[in-house]
Amino acid sequence: MQMGSRKQAILERLHKKGEIQISDLAEYFGISEMTIRRDLESLEMDGFIRRIRGGAIPATSRSYEPPILTRESQNHEAKIRIGRAAAELLRDGETVILDVGTTVLQMARAINSRMPLTIVTSSLLIATELSSKPQVRTIVAGGEVRPGELSLIGASTENAFQNFNCDSFFIGVAGVSAANGLTEYNLDDSRVKKSAIKASARKIVLADSSKIGKMAFASVADLSEIDILITDANPKNKEINLIKDAGVEVIHVEPFEKEN
């Protein structure tokens, strides 16, 4: 593997895992730890990573949320497949909460326009998407608009969900892991999600493979509160097996991510 390709592969592994170890990288690529250190030095100089004792972490913090337009282009095909699989779980007449985020937006696009549903959302993007579906009754949880995200946050949004008793909540997250449960970049978003979880009988997480095993800044929920995870992560993924062991049903959409 050429050096440029190897550094890209290092960044991809870091994006998936959140932290990488020099010894693990050396074994994975079949090269010396000294060569890996030189790669990490170069990536740090370019601003992609921060080196720590024995390895590296992303240059951005766990509270940094990439812009929504950037996120929408990442793992785009996987998000479409996950969104379609999530839409297939809906049944006529259900009352549903749709979370914010690019994967849940793909679910909204996949909803059958002839299916009668009541949907509550704190995403103006999703509400706009649903407005073209005549059989869907859409309720927007009021609140303060997050600039750039077009999501609603604050006490008004959190309180709005306390007035509802919904069948299902489809959740978008920054990270999901067996050790840390669901996590999110933004504390205000996490509070809204917590309120929506309490208002729902069934909780379904939509997360592409890059979110599996990842931990972001703000805690949302333990895995014990979650019923289903829909993902393109490989069924052989060790973290996925730990999530299954925690009692979460996992729905895999194909093609799966490649297992490293």
> Could you tell me the CA-to-CA distances from 259 to 157, 209, 256 in Å, in that order?
39, 10, 8
* pLDDT value of position 256: 74
| Tokens representing residue 78 in the block | 């996987």
DSSP 31: S
Task: Please tell me the predicted confidence (pLDDT) of residue 253.
Answer: 95
What pLDDT sits at residue 158? Answer: 95
**The pLDDT value given to residue 127:** 96
Residue 81: CB atoms within 10 Å: 20
The closest alpha carbon to 41, from 51, 31, 32, belongs to 51
The residues, ordered by sequence, that sit 6+ positions from 32 with a Cβ below 8 Å of its Cβ are 26
pLDDT at position 135 = 96
Q: What is the pLDDT of residue 229?
A: 98
Strands 200-206 and 228-231: parallel
What is the pLDDT, as a whole number, of residue 19? Answer: 80
Position 1 scores a pLDDT of 53
Biggest alpha carbon–alpha carbon distance for the chain: 61
pLDDT for the residue 142: 86
Three-state secondary-structure class, residue 198:
helix
pLDDT attached to residue 61: 53
| Per-residue pLDDT, 202 | 98
Q: Say if CB 240 and CB 257 are below 8 A apart.
A: no
What is the rounded CA–CA span in Å between residue 32 and residue 156? 55
Token pair of 142, please? 């009021």
pTM reported for the whole predicted model: 0.75
Three-class DSSP category at 133: coil
Per residue of the chain (260 residues), what is the pLDDT tens digit? 555 678 878 887 887 777 889 999 999 999 999 999 999 998 888 777 888 889 888 766 554 455 555 555 567 899 999 999 999 999 999 999 999 999 999 999 999 999 999 999 999 999 999 999 999 999 999 899 987 788 999 999 999 998 999 999 999 999 999 989 999 988 899 999 999 999 999 999 999 998 998 888 889 999 999 999 999 999 999 999 999 999 999 999 988 776 65
Q: Which bin fits 75, alpha (ψ -120 to 50), beta or left (φ > 0)?
A: left
